[in-house]
Amino acid sequence: MIEKKLKGWTTPRTAPTGLFIRDYLLDHGEGYAMQIWRALKEKRGSKKVCSYSSFVANYIWILRQLGLIEKVRTEAARNRAYYDRVYYRITPGKEQSQEWNAPQKTLDPRRALGSKKYRKEKPK
């Protein structure tokens, strides 16, 4: 049997990553970055998810800068070669914030111009 690839409006809609992180933390109370990334990877399929380092840089760091999540505790790594495990939770009162929909655009409005390279507006 031949599988048909869905394109355009026929593809299933996936929730934005910011909302996925919010929902994960609401369901679990707290979590560490690798745990959240693995859940996202499992939910969407491994080919549709960014790398772990990109996830930390583009979501966890930004959500912390916006004050949407906060550190709860840190567990020491078993091996000195690894980083300590940092647990996060949603900052109280920020559960329904609109910033969850597009945290990158909220932190840097230039991203709203439609490109990672931040297209410059043409001088008039």
Q: Which domains does the chain have, with CATH numbers?
A: 13-113 (1.10.10.10)
Could you tell me the CA-to-CA distances from 19 to 40, 57, 67 in Å, in that order? Answer: 11, 17, 15
Judge contact between 20 and 40, C-beta under 8 A: yes
Residue type, 109: P
pLDDT recorded at residue 1: 47
Model pLDDT for residues 93-117, shown as the tens digit of each residue:
999 999 998 898 888 877 666 555 5
Higher pLDDT, 116 or 77: 77
Model pLDDT for residues 51-70, shown as the tens digit of each residue:
999 999 889 999 999 999 99
